[in-house]
Structure 1
Amino acid sequence: MRNRLEEKWAFITGATAGIGKATAELFAQSQCNVVINGRRKERLENLKNHLQEEYKVAVRIACFDVRNREAISDWLSAFDQPIDILVNNAGLARGVDAVFDAQFDDWDDMIDTNIKGVLNMTRLIAPQMKERNSGHIINIGSIAGHESYDGGSVYCATKHAVKAFTESTKKDLHGTKVRVSMVSPGLVETEFSNVRFKGDDDRADEVYDDMQPLTGQDIAEVVHFIANRPPHVNIMDSIVFPVDQSSSSMVYRDE
């Protein structure tokens, strides 16, 4: 397969673990320079050292919260390279409470990160792509953006928003060579469930009991494939399930 990522710059949010970290690794392996974003500086520094030593690519750290519009703008103003690929991966779920029992703080965390974070990054990077008439925005969505489930009212709403935003962004950039894509995973075993259950590791582990979930690597490979298509090809969305899953609520468990 031809490598179209060599010497480009990819900006990957939420790169301290899971899908984001695996995506940074695959892009670096393809000789793509990477900007790795997250809030945990030590993890970012460790990943930077690993990628530079292993793949001899340029790596920059962007240690900020994607909810902080001013921090994003300040960092981008000081960055002297064009961003060819933006992977909006940062996101989270908080709790599985019914809408009448949910915590407002949990709602704010999900809305501000999953929606506003994607909006912030896209709004501040898309203009340079439009001006150059090249670039690729890849949003990490979810099966929750295609079908809703009980206990996930606001999380599902945020991922439906990402789907709508992805489609509208493509239409706003209609007539340019800027590509816009989304990947919508099902069950992926990362830190996602640990965050959703607020550090209750036993409860998080139960989500993946007696079935084989996807890994961050699996989704990173899909992101890499989408980014590496010929310039005239735009994959708008890709729903990715483990074979043991058939919908947001149908999971086969070999008990």
Structure 2
Amino acid sequence: MYKMLDPAELTVFITGATSGFGAAAARRYVAEGAKIIATGRRTERLEALQAELGADKCHIITLDVQDRAALKAAIAAIPAPFANINVVLANAGLALGLQPAYEADEDDWDTMVATNINGLLYTVRALLPGMIERGGGHVVTIGSVAGDYAYPGSGVYGASKAFVKQFALNLRADLQGKNVRVTNIEPGLTETEFSLVRFKGDADRAGKPYVNTVAMNADDIAESIFWTTILPRHFNVNRLQMMATTQAFGPFNIYRED
């Protein structure tokens, strides 16, 4: 009979670990005995996470995934106790703005592409060869229901998550026979700092999507991530899409003239 993997044998590289899904996943893995490498741009948050989880289980790297050279240098400098990475959680990503395409800020578009697409590509490309050489591993990407279902203002954010979904599926094809699994996690309505970032600190606007709902939270998504990575090695979850029970599919949007 196949057995679940022992989390204590996992070393997990996490991008975007300073908040949301990344921070929740860091806590979930360490609680089960795994080692993590927590990366992000906010040093003070990384230091607080390391103080909470312990330096023997949590190595931290201040890092912007948009910087390919810095990413490669940071990976090359990972100390030996954390070097045998066998799970990559490519979590760093964001949405900016909710304007229609004809009003959107092009700088916001550039930032979303640079983070959600380029940063993801740089992370996966830098870490894949080591996992293959060590005999296996697991790449987890963070998509969104917006990668399948358009909504007004989703624009480049939704398109970037469609890219993530397809890239993850393409990785599965490339990695056949390499013992490296790939899973795209695709959450719907989840209450984190996501909306606060999208609306650039406007707390009133950020809170409106969650009014009178029971949204998912970061721990819910972290649990889903964790579960996919401890399944027996012969079992690959290609895509895992989830929504809050209070979220569903809307009617077609039909424009009607007065």
- 1:209 equivalent in alignment to 2:211: yes
- Matched ranges for 1:119-198 at <5 A: 119-198=121-200
**Residue identity in the other structure for 2:62:** C
Moved more, 178-187 or 74-83: 74-83
Partner of 2:71: 72
Partner of 1:13: 15
Q: Distance in 2 between matches of 1:222 and 1:177?
A: 21
Unaligned runs of at least 5 residues, structure 2: 252-258
Partner of 1:58: 57
Moved more, 158-167 or 140-149: 140-149
Whether the 8 Å contact between 1:13 and 1:90 is mirrored in structure 2 is: yes
* Per-residue deviation, 1:246: 1.1
Q: SS where residue 99 of structure 1 aligns? A: coil
Q: SS where residue 47 of structure 1 aligns? A: helix
Q: Distance in 2 between matches of 1:202 and 1:78?
A: 42
Q: Distance in 1 between matches of 2:18 and 2:35?
A: 16
TM-score (norm 2): 0.92
Partner of 2:116: 114
Partner of 1:232: 234
* Per-residue deviation, 1:8: 2.1
Identity between Structure 1 and Structure 2 (%): 39
Q: SS where residue 18 of structure 2 aligns? A: coil
Whether the 8 Å contact between 2:90 and 2:139 is mirrored in structure 1 is: yes
Q: Distance in 2 between matches of 1:2 and 1:45?
A: 32
Whether the 8 Å contact between 2:5 and 2:231 is mirrored in structure 1 is: no
**Residue identity in the other structure for 2:58:** V
Residues 154-189 of structure 1 show CA distances to partners (whole Å, capped at 9, x for unaligned) of 101100000010000111111111101011000110
Q: Distance in 2 between matches of 1:52 and 1:77?
A: 22
* Per-residue deviation, 1:132: 2.0
Residues 193-250 of structure 1 show CA distances to partners (whole Å, capped at 9, x for unaligned) of 0010111100101110011110000000000100110111110111111000113x57
- Matched ranges for 1:244-255 at <5 A: 244-247=246-249
Aligned Cα RMSD in Å? 1.3
Moved more, 234-243 or 5-14: 5-14
* Per-residue deviation, 1:2: 4.7
Q: SS where residue 140 of structure 2 aligns? A: strand
Distance 1:3 1:233, change over 3 A: closer
Whether the 8 Å contact between 1:38 and 1:64 is mirrored in structure 2 is: yes
* Per-residue deviation, 1:7: 3.4
* Residues paired across the two proteins, number: 246
Partner of 1:253: none
TM-score (norm 1): 0.93
Moved more, 44-53 or 178-187: 44-53
Tell me which stretches of 4 or more aligned residues in structure 1 moved more than 4 Å. none
Q: Distance in 1 between matches of 2:154 and 2:41?
A: 25
Whether the 8 Å contact between 2:5 and 2:232 is mirrored in structure 1 is: no
Q: SS where residue 8 of structure 2 aligns? A: coil
Whether the 8 Å contact between 1:3 and 1:30 is mirrored in structure 2 is: no
Unaligned runs of at least 5 residues, structure 1: 251-255
